Chains A and B, each alone.
Chain A
Amino acid sequence: MQSHSSSIQPPGRPVTAQAPAGTWLIRLPANGSLLLDKRALFAVLSLSVLLLGAVVLALCLGTTNYSPAEVIEALLGGGNPMTAFILNELRLPRVVAGILSGAGFALAGCLMQTLARNRLATPGIIGIDNGATAFAIASVVGLVTSLAPPEMALIGAATATALAFGLAGGAGTRGYRFIIAGIGIGALFGAFTQLMLARAHIDVANQAYPWTVGSLNARPENAVLYMAIGLAVGIVAALALARALKVLRFSEPVALGLGVRVNACRYLSLVLAVTLTALAVAVAGPVGLVGLIGPEIARHLSSTRTVPLASSALAGALVMVLADTVGRMMLSPVEVPVGIVTAIVGGPYLLWILLVSPRNTP
């Protein structure tokens, strides 16, 4: 652990450990200290810069392209009213919704993958995406008229999770049974959605479309608000759990021996993952692939010592914003929803990463 000790220890003072290679040791007052992984920090910083760049791109590009100067002018309240409208009312809310939902999906995915010890795990495997979609579409199609689609999406996600838990017989969050129950629930909801869409009038089926593929077009405001709140709480909670999660990657006896409350940590992470996904689906629809791509990118850039929570969130936001911009430009004037773009690009990308990386043990 001691990489290089240099100074002579004065007598009577306790031995101070040197930081391990690749980390920074920051001394805090009152004999405290903070150990930061250099590579993780680098990942967070570079992803933040990339995200900023993506945001600028997203605001500048579109049916009409604007220069960064025009963008800034409009955001500050000046400029041509049409430009101001397009930027403030159309593009900016889209970018914000994209950042929030992308971060939510990716963070939830990272949590789930740590819990399940499987790089392919997302909350979607327990049927949340399908449940949320089915309920939201029930509202669009008119089966339920008292609640709006985003609220219904939240209820649907909660119902799917509860069903999966209940049917698994409470066998624990890592249980085989839980996943299987989730697959069953997911398939049921999926079939139900197909049925509703097949029976609806084509106009109504068209309106339900964004809920089936995931789209950032004119998202309802309150959903974005809930997402913002949820994400803020979620990030804080996740960072608080970060340490425990790091240790959880070892086997259970080791984790217990190191003083981590394994069960509490697992349940809390699961609840967090499910909530974040539910909120994100209520905003953007089922764009579950971001929950796989985001953490994968984060793992590439960040170190293996930590669970890359912050990096995943940033990477997810980046993917979502980029995908949305590409979707708007691809077939202009027809917009391709962000869910389709992530799937078209994400599928092969995922494949490439998983095939290329050595000793792949998903």
Chain B
Amino acid sequence: MLVTALRHPGRLIGLILGMVLSLSALADSRTLDTAYGQVKVEGQPKRVVALYEGAVDAAVAVGVKPVAALATRGTTGLARYMDEHAKGVAIVGTARELNLEAIVAQRPDLILASPQMPKAQYDLLSSVAPTVVPKTNVYEPDNWKSESRLFAQALGQAAKMDELIEAVENRAAQLAEKIKAEYSDEERTAYVVRWMPQGPMVMSSQLLTAGLLEMLGLQVNDDGLVKEGRPHSDPLSLENLGRIDSDWLFLATLNEEGQAALEAAKKSPAFARMKVVERNRVIPVDGQYWSSATGPIAAQKILDDVEAALLP
């Protein structure tokens, strides 16, 4: 058959085209491995409802703007760092109370949900549209990669997500080189905390942030303070601040602007005493994506923050 095809280029082209088309038709229907079993998604979803910050991040990153998402600030706001990408997105509830009717009214053809979604809600939503609930439960630094890949796979953009993740890794590697050049080995330990008046909460070294920081060559600790499976520690006693007093301290804040938060924390004498404060190596960062967001855009923003702080 090949011989005849070679003699007739038109047929060859047709054959190749046919093979390609049938292959992509196969690729058009994807089966995903989710927390509630195998989910099949067909075609290119156009109306995507994202019920999870990581899903919004992943979707926007691969170029698919969701038609609806959950409000995380006030009744109308998505996370601050997503604001520019998220104009015109309809709100269908908050992370605490989903408005199922509003979700259905959006006529979604794909629903991307949070790993914590309870079964009752999942059952209802999956009868409306394929619902993707990531499997991840234990906190691991690379969770965000598998979650984002899953969402991208659902959106039919798995390849693009791979590129984005690779871009993050490459950039991290580059920055790591520069950081290693700039700071010696002993100067690169860091802690990520949220400051509360009764003491700092140490973020787990198993989160996205810590994973990234490790890639950047910083040694992130939680000093055994964070128990397994918990995202952060109990407030560390003010008497024990010596345990987080290392080379760098990333101070995650939720409500205030970074500098103001730093000033507020300095009012506590225990905080002001720390060597890392005296050496001015405390870096205020936006808690919204440093401590709770997951996704490629968040990852890039974290890299931005670290670059600005350590390599001005």
Contact = CB atoms under 8 A, between A and B. Distances in A.
* Contact, chains A and B (beta carbon distance below 8 A): yes
Interface of A: 62-64, 82, 85-86, 89-91, 142, 148-149, 199, 201-204, 206-207, 209-210, 215, 217-221, 328, 331-337
A89 B98 CA distance: 15
B97 A334 contact: yes
8 tightest CB-CB pairs across the interface, nearest first? A201-B231, A63-B101, A209-B96, A206-B95, A218-B121, A333-B102, A220-B120, A63-B102
A210 B99 contact: no
Given A85-B104, A218-B121, A221-B120, A199 B230 contact: yes
Contacts, number: 89
Given A90-B124, A334-B75, A62 B101 contact: yes
A50 to B, nearest CB: 24
B100 A90 contact: yes
Contacts of B107: 82
A203 B292 contact: yes
Nearest to A142: B229
B209 interface: no
Interface in B89-119: 90-102, 104-105, 107, 114-116, 118-119
Nearest to B95: A206
Interface string B228-254: 011110100000000000000000000
B93 A334 contact: yes
Contact of A206 (B75, B96, B234): B96
A109 to B, nearest CB: 26
A334 B99 contact: yes
A82 B105 contact: yes
20 contacts: A85-B104, A86-B104, A89-B127, A148-B119, A201-B230, A201-B232, A206-B116, A207-B116, A207-B118, A217-B98, A217-B121, A218-B100, A333-B90, A333-B91, A333-B102, A334-B91, A334-B93, A334-B94, A335-B97, A337-B97
A333 B92 contact: yes
Given A85-B128, A201-B232, A218-B100, 18 more contacts: A63-B101, A63-B102, A64-B101, A64-B105, A86-B104, A89-B124, A142-B229, A201-B230, A204-B116, A206-B95, A210-B96, A218-B118, A220-B120, A328-B101, A333-B102, A334-B75, A334-B94, A334-B97
B132 interface: no
Contacts of A331: 75
A220 B123 CA distance: 10
Contacts of B91: 333-334
B100 A199 contact: no
A40 to B, nearest CB: 38
Nearest to B292: A202
Contacts of A201: 230-232, 292
B262 interface: no
B285 interface: no
B194 to A, nearest CB: 11
B238 to A, nearest CB: 17
Given A207-B116, A210-B97, A63 B105 contact: yes
Contacts of B67: none
